Amino acid sequence: MRTDLRADCGSCFGLCCVALPFAASRDFAHAKAGGEPCRNLREDHGCAIHARLRTEGYPGCTVFDCFGAGQKVSQVTFGGRGWREAPETAAQMFAALPVMRQLHELMWYAAEALDLPAARPVHGELREALAEVEQLTLSAADVLAKADVPALRASVGALLLRASELARAAAVPGRRRDHRGADLMGRRLRAADLRGASLRGALLVAADLRGADLRWADVTGADLRDTRLAGADLRDCLFLTQSQLTAASGDSTTRLPRSLHRPGHWA
């Protein structure tokens, strides 16, 4: 995966800890408004409780992934000048982060699709889309603010869907399960054969997928909070993100794609 689509918090001005709002809940121990610095944000833009986020009541922070948008806004869009030293830029900077994050997320998915040999028929269009989105990420803040992100998501999303269908059909011929957008919250799917299944946008919160075979399953946007993945096979899983894994529950027997790592809180 492209290194510029990985978060580099040391090159960011703590933007996710300031720009984004969150409500007091099981994911966040306190509420804050967008544009308000988190009470745990240090002057150097680091987190005072980074090593203890889960035990201190902030598991929501551990699953957030900006896909490298934070450092792009900090170092490219605003040229390395932070919101503390240049407070007049703060509002624009905070508004740019969610836009940039969506653009970087699209780039991440496109890059993943370009690594699928069976999706070669759409690689040309994917490269063009990736170049278009990447060029937009280099724009000034006022241009980013006017970006038609929904239209981009729709056009790139259509290409990603075609790439997924080609890859799944090549790897798992025949009929495959279609759970796209399904409500599978808490569902018992232990040891289920979900090879090549579509789980795009599926609600899998607290579902039991222990020992399930998810090879070549498309999990784009699937909600895996507290999903039980002990012993599950996620190798070659399509469009699985690190944040989805971090939100789930697995163990040493969970088999992962080579590009992702086992979350530290897993058993």
Mean pLDDT of the chain: 96
CATH of residue 186's domain is 2.160.20.80
Q: Tens digits of per-residue pLDDT, 196-252? A: 999 999 999 999 999 999 999 999 999 999 999 999 999 999 999 999 999 999 999
DSSP string, the chain: --GGGS--GGGS-SGGGTTS-B-SSSS-SS-B-TTSPPTTB-TTS-BTTGGGTTTTT-HHHHT---TTHHHHIIIIITTT--TTT-GGGHHHHHHHHHHHHHHHHHHHHHHHHHT-GGGGGGHHHHHHHHHHHHHHHTS-HHHHHT--HHHHHHHHHHHHHHHHHHHHHHHS-S---B-TT-B-TT-B-TT-B-TT-B-TT-B-TT-B-TT-B-TT-B-TT-B-TT-B-TT-B-TT-BT--HHHHHHSB--TT-B--TTS---TT--
Per-residue model confidence (pLDDT) at position 2: 74
Q: Tens digits of per-residue pLDDT, 148-187? A: 999 999 999 999 999 999 999 999 999 999 999 999 999 9
Same domain, yes or no: 32 and 109: yes
pLDDT of 79 > 80? The answer is yes
Per-residue model confidence (pLDDT) at position 267: 76
What is the phi-psi region of residue 102: left when phi exceeds 0, alpha when psi lies from -120 to 50, beta otherwise?
alpha
Indicate the pTM of the whole model.
Answer: 0.95
Contact 35, 90 (CB under 8 A): yes
* Single residue among 128, 149, 169 that ends a domain in this structure: 169
| Structure tokens, 167 | 């890859």
* Single residue among 169, 192, 215 that ends a domain in this structure: 169
Beta bridge pairs of residue 22: 32
Which structural domain, as residue segments, surrounds residue 102?
3-169
Same domain, yes or no: 254 and 131: no
Looking at the chain, the whole-number percentage of residues with pLDDT higher than 70 is: 100
Rounded to an integer, the average pLDDT of 59-82 is 97
Same domain, yes or no: 120 and 188: no
Rounded to an integer, the average pLDDT of 9-36 is 96
Same domain, yes or no: 223 and 151: no
Same domain, yes or no: 199 and 252: yes
Same domain, yes or no: 24 and 137: yes
Same domain, yes or no: 161 and 192: no
Nearest to 213 by CA among 238, 196, 188: 196
Q: Tens digits of per-residue pLDDT, 25-42? A: 999 999 999 999 999 999
Same domain, yes or no: 20 and 116: yes
Rounded to an integer, the average pLDDT of 141-153 is 97
Same domain, yes or no: 266 and 245: yes
pLDDT of 1 > 60? The answer is no
Same domain, yes or no: 44 and 7: yes
Same domain, yes or no: 158 and 191: no
Per-residue model confidence (pLDDT) at position 111: 96
Same domain, yes or no: 138 and 231: no
Specify the amino acid at residue 38.
Answer: C
Rounded to an integer, the average pLDDT of 93-107 is 98
Q: Terminal CA-to-CA distance of the chain, rounded, Å?
A: 26
Per-residue model confidence (pLDDT) at position 3: 79
- Give the span between the Cα atoms of 171 and 26, in whole angstroms: 39
**Count of positions (residues) in the chain:** 267
| Structure tokens, 184 | 């599978």
* Single residue among 147, 169, 191 that ends a domain in this structure: 169
Nearest to 217 by CA among 206, 228, 209: 209
Structural domains in the chain (count): 2
